[in-house]
Amino acid sequence: MSGLKEPAYFAEEVNLGRGLTWYLDLFKEAGDAQVVGESSTHYTKLPTYQGVPERIQNFAPDAKFIFLMRDPLARSISQYWHHYQGRRSGEVEKREMLEAFQEDQRYLAYSNYALQLQPYLDRFGSASVKVFTLEEFRLLPQFWLKQLYEWLGVDSEFVADSIGAKVHETPALVTRRVRWLYALKKSPLWETVRVGVPAPIRGLGERLSERAPVERKTVPIDDAIRFASPILQQHTQDLSDLLGRDFPEWKMLWDQA
């Protein structure tokens, strides 16, 4: 895999301008590996990032894609908390969840898996796109890894040490960052001047850059769920029609029916 986890090279607004040499350099340690790859979520974020499949096809017409989906309602909620904490490019979500879902199409569009998948199926064909869910992977990780390895044409008996590990889960306590203070805290300027700032003042500034943590379960989100559920259920029906299978493992989504 690429040295940088999410290069987002084929997303024009992110890193395309860095140039092909920059991108290829991310794989300089690959050597004679049978398969090389990367994992940029930007590539399935319509309508924000347009034209990604076309750019990938021009670069690697025989590329294969692994599309791992999770419960779409859980994904949208997780994205909200991610933005709430300002963990993506300093973007801090200040709206309540219902208002955010109503006003910002990204929250539900990114969970519209049929919308995200269709351009890849159209350009590369179903044989080049492997689709499965996070829930079924967690239930039988080695089974699904074996399927993936066989599909990729590599050793299907390999077992990773980290198999079954859960990563990047939203914590029970979330903290909303004060955007300008947090940006200063992470800036090269702060790294330059911080040594000259007395420790008590540094500590105060760092504490002020993040508000008091909020316990997620105390935040009312029922209205947001009621708003999003029928929309995401229809999106999932579109996905079922596209792929010819259902998704009963998405318990949070269907429990709202």
Q: Do 56 and 132 belong together in one domain?
A: yes
**Does some domain include residue 25?**
no
Q: For residue 88, what pLDDT is reported?
A: 59
In percent, the amount of the chain with pLDDT more than 70 equals 77
Q: For residue 166, what pLDDT is reported?
A: 60
Please give the mean pLDDT across all residues of the chain: 86
Q: Do 123 and 146 belong together in one domain?
A: yes
**Does some domain include residue 15?**
no
Judged against a pLDDT cut of 90, whether residue 156 lies above it is answered with: no
Q: Do 163 and 188 belong together in one domain?
A: no
Q: Do 138 and 168 belong together in one domain?
A: yes
**Does some domain include residue 192?**
yes
Q: Do 94 and 191 belong together in one domain?
A: no
Q: 75-79, 109-113, 173-177, 236-240: which has the minimum mean pLDDT?
A: 173-177
| More confident call, 108 vs 192 | 108
Q: Do 86 and 182 belong together in one domain?
A: no
**Does some domain include residue 183?**
yes
> Are 253 and 229 within 8 A, CB to CB?
yes
Q: What share of the chain is helix, strand, coil (3-state, %, to 5)?
A: 50, 5, 40
Q: Do 78 and 96 belong together in one domain?
A: yes
Domain span at 187: 173-215
Q: For residue 192, what pLDDT is reported?
A: 63
Q: Do 209 and 191 belong together in one domain?
A: yes
**Amino acid present at 167:** V
- Does the pTM surpass 0.75? The reply is yes
Q: Average pLDDT for residues 202-210, to the nearest whole number?
A: 49
Residue 224's nearest CA partner among 40, 34, 76 is: 76
**Amino acid present at 105:** Q
Highest-pLDDT range among 27-31, 135-139, 167-171: 135-139
> Are 39 and 1 within 8 A, CB to CB?
yes
Q: Do 63 and 178 belong together in one domain?
A: no
Q: Do 86 and 56 belong together in one domain?
A: yes
- Angle, alpha carbons 190-12-47 (nearest 5°): 105
User: What residues have CB less than 8 Å from 90, skipping those under 6 apart?
Assistant: 177, 179, 182, 183
Judged against a pLDDT cut of 80, whether residue 144 lies above it is answered with: yes
Q: Which pair of tokens denotes residue 237?
A: 């029906």
Q: Which pair of tokens denotes residue 180?
A: 């300008």
